[in-house]
Amino acid sequence: MVNSGVDLFAVDKVLGHSSVQSAQRYSHLANDTLLKAVEAGAAKHKAW
């Protein structure tokens, strides 16, 4: 779900974990997802 753009906190609630740490532990991000995050951060930085 996270690789499809769903917020980690929403995934946590949908899966019924007792804490967000459980969702963090089991979420494995694809390289494309990580690259998009880096690019978004770089684009925001350039706008400053």
Tell me: the pLDDT tens digits for 13-46?
998 988 888 888 888 888 998 898 899 999 887 7
- Contacts of residue 29, defined as CB under 8 A and 6 or more positions apart, other chains included, come to 2, 3
Domain extent, residue 34, equals 2-47
Question: According to the model, what pLDDT value does residue 48 have?
Answer: 67
Model-level pTM?
A: 0.56
Count of structural domains within the chain: 1
Listed in sequence order, the residues at least 6 apart from 27 whose beta carbon sits closer than 8 Å to its beta carbon are 2, 8, 11
